[in-house]
Amino acid sequence: MNNDISNIDRTAAELRSSELEKKSERAGNEWWSVSLKRKWVRFLLLAGSALLFSAAFPPLDWGFLGWVAIIPLFLMVRNRTVGQAWLDGFIWGYVWICTSFFWLREIEVFLPFVTALVLALFPAFWAAAVPFFNRFIFVPVDVQLKGIDAEREYYSQEKRNNLKQLALVLALAAWWCVLEWTRTWIGTGFPWNFLAVTQWKNTPVIQICEFTGVYGLSFLLMFFNISVALSIDTWKNILIKKKYERPLPFLISIASIMLCVFFGTSSSIRYNNMPDKAKINISVVQANIPQCRIATDEQAKYALDEYLSLSELAVLAKPDLVIWPETAVPIPYNVAGEFGLEYRSRLGKIIAASKIPFLIGTIDFGKVYGPVLRPEDIPLYNSAILLDANSNIVDTYNKIHLVPWGEFTPGGNLVPQWIKNFFSMGRNLTPGTRYTLFNLNDNVKACVNICFEDVFPEIGRRCALAGANLLIIISNDAWYPNSSEPDQHLAHAVFRAVETRRPIVRGGNNSGTCVIGVNGAIIDSLGERYDEKTGRTVLDPMEKKKGFANFSVQVVRNPPLTFFSKYGNVFIYACIVMFLAAFVYSLVCWHEKKQKLLKAFEKK
């Protein structure tokens, strides 16, 4: 009896399987779109596309992928629902952030995966806009009402509305830039690895940033990505139906790239050839010292010995200034006690003997008004201190944009102590309030960016507005000795030079010590390597080594302000307008579609 029942069940299962197989072969059957296999394939394609995007950034640094890496994501989400596209974008973003920001594991192992949960929201919201704009800007409402098959047929038609295609491309490129801009200020801001950064070595293309800031280049890259994706349908018509259709957005993107290169390069040449230049010789010391959260006396003594011994050699070249990187010695310069006295005394002897000013990165104490009841009542700053030829403090810059969790705890006392212990590095620094202009000599006035600050376009702009004709960046990326963080950090700095058309002298603790020209090209560095292909020695600013570099920097005495320095993020305001116009238009079309559907049901 039981065997008979089993045989009947087996036969029924086989019949169901056979029936499903026959149904799956029917024309128009959509089983593939909802199958588990399909979902896995989609996930792998999304992950693969995200990995391509990560490869465009250091350490692989395949910048050409920045021009095409978004194409697969666009094609995969344009016919999805808004919710499905959002989820696809989140998956794509999560994989990208985990791989591109994997260096965060050197602080805490889990950090890349937690950070990705937040930053993946930005590509998710961009992806959600793709099908929404695609349907209501590009596809007529009457076509939408006929169903998904009619929409797909519309994509394969010989002739489509090129102006609507262009509007779609503009809207999505603008939306991407608005989301990048949002990352600079939401929370405490984290504008790391923007799309434009993939081109940091592409000197001709990045010149557009003088006018638009970094967002203009992101816009251009996204414009090209989407226009190529839309042109795929056009190329299908050319190859299959032998009918030519002019891909307007693609042609405009090519023309835009050519114009940007032409005008940007012309401007770069003009700034490079400006008269009335002064020369300043700067020595930058890089001791390559490992970092620790709380330094012992022995570790602080070792750091001081290393920087002093290298400085004794650096001053022999008679530079105009010696620079130490961010928190070169992990004990404050002005600290009381025996170590503080030794620090100031030994450095003072070098300065007195050489008569050369020093710019040093250090933790500094703020003024206290009233009684000090607790140590935390004394404000602490991450500072750059300029010491003159007599070891007097000329002026100080206190870092304005601090690193969350690393230099302060977001939320302050509202955050439970166990969270502080788990996430925080134990410091609660005070942000500065003034962009200090250091008068290095009669011709050179410099502003300092400390570490993380150089990824914020607005900070470099404020330095130019303050009157600086030279930017100095001091950094300490030795917290990340075995990852791509130092490489990615340097990639951001080149854009500050182009945006402001000010040369940059950059000093790092373990790498990244170099000079960046006004066109964003690295023109000198401490690190060098032998190139076997050319048989020449080439610059290698990311070489981790101990030493010092003597840089001779040409500085224009009174350089004009660039468009970006004068007016800031005007381009982003244009992007906001483009996005809002597209959003309002799409809402109107959505409302029209809804009304037509309601009328159709009312007639029935």
Say which CATH number the domain at 391 has: 3.60.110.10
Q: What is the pLDDT of residue 195?
A: 98
Q: What is the pLDDT of residue 143?
A: 84
Sign of CA dihedral 347, 350, 351, 356: negative
d(CA 365, CA 589): 60
d(CA 217, CA 566): 19
Contact of 312 with 346, CB cutoff 8 Å? no
18 belongs to a structural domain: no
Query: Quick one: tokens of 140?
Result: 């007529």
Structural domain that includes position 388: 275-558
503 belongs to a structural domain: yes
Residue 535 pLDDT grade (very low, low, confident, very high; cuts 50, 70, 90): confident
Q: What is the pLDDT of residue 31?
A: 53
21 belongs to a structural domain: no
% of the chain beyond a pLDDT of 90: 64
In one-letter notation, the amino acid at residue 143 is: V
The reply to whether 385 and 239 lie within a common domain is no
Mean pLDDT of 180-186: 94
Does the pLDDT of residue 13 top 50, yes or no? no
Contact of 76 with 46, CB cutoff 8 Å? yes
Does the pLDDT of residue 447 top 70, yes or no? yes
The reply to whether 297 and 167 lie within a common domain is no
Q: What would the pLDDT profile of 341-377 be if each residue is shown by its tens digit?
A: 999 999 999 999 999 999 999 999 877 655 555 566 6
Does the pLDDT of residue 12 top 50, yes or no? no
The reply to whether 306 and 187 lie within a common domain is no
The reply to whether 190 and 321 lie within a common domain is no
Q: What is the pLDDT of residue 29?
A: 55
Q: What would the pLDDT profile of 82-93 be if each residue is shown by its tens digit?
A: 999 999 999 999
Q: What is the pLDDT of residue 5?
A: 47
Does the pLDDT of residue 599 top 60, yes or no? yes
Contacts of 134 (CB under 8 A, 6+ apart): 78, 79, 168
Mean pLDDT of 7-17: 51
DSSP, collapsed to helix, strand or coil, labels residue 585 as helix
Q: How far apart are the first and last CA of the chain?
A: 54
Mean pLDDT of 388-407: 91
The reply to whether 265 and 324 lie within a common domain is no
The reply to whether 307 and 364 lie within a common domain is yes
Q: What would the pLDDT profile of 485-499 be if each residue is shown by its tens digit?
A: 999 999 999 999 999
The reply to whether 470 and 501 lie within a common domain is yes
Contact of 520 with 534, CB cutoff 8 Å? no
25 belongs to a structural domain: no
pTM of the model: 0.89
Q: What would the pLDDT profile of 230-282 be if each residue is shown by its tens digit?
A: 988 777 666 666 666 778 899 999 999 999 888 888 888 888 888 888 999 99
- H-run or E-run covering 499: helix 485-500
Is the N-terminal amide bond of 330 cis, ω within 30° of 0? no
- H-run or E-run covering 528: strand 528-531
23 belongs to a structural domain: no
Q: What is the pLDDT of residue 18?
A: 55
22 belongs to a structural domain: no
Residue 465 has, within 13 A of its CA and on its CB side, a CA count of 14
The reply to whether 332 and 255 lie within a common domain is no
DSSP, collapsed to helix, strand or coil, labels residue 450 as strand
The reply to whether 255 and 174 lie within a common domain is yes
The reply to whether 402 and 493 lie within a common domain is yes
SS in 3 state form for 306-370?
A: HHHHHHHHHHHHCCCEEECCCCCCCCCCCCCCHHHHHHHHHHHHHHHHHCCCEEEEEEEECCCCC
Q: Of 82, 67, 83, 73, which is closest to residue 43 (Cα–Cα)?
A: 73
* Mean pLDDT of the chain, nearest integer: 88
Q: What would the pLDDT profile of 36-66 be if each residue is shown by its tens digit?
A: 788 888 999 999 999 999 999 999 999 999 9
d(CA 438, CA 489): 24
Residue 411 pLDDT grade (very low, low, confident, very high; cuts 50, 70, 90): low
545 belongs to a structural domain: yes
The reply to whether 598 and 530 lie within a common domain is no
Contact of 281 with 319, CB cutoff 8 Å? yes
Contact of 543 with 528, CB cutoff 8 Å? yes
Total structural domains in the chain? 2
Q: Can you count the helices (H) and strands (E) in the chain? A: 21, 14
DSSP, collapsed to helix, strand or coil, labels residue 51 as helix
Residue 154 pLDDT grade (very low, low, confident, very high; cuts 50, 70, 90): confident
Residue 320 pLDDT grade (very low, low, confident, very high; cuts 50, 70, 90): very high
The reply to whether 164 and 127 lie within a common domain is yes
Contact of 349 with 311, CB cutoff 8 Å? no
24 belongs to a structural domain: no
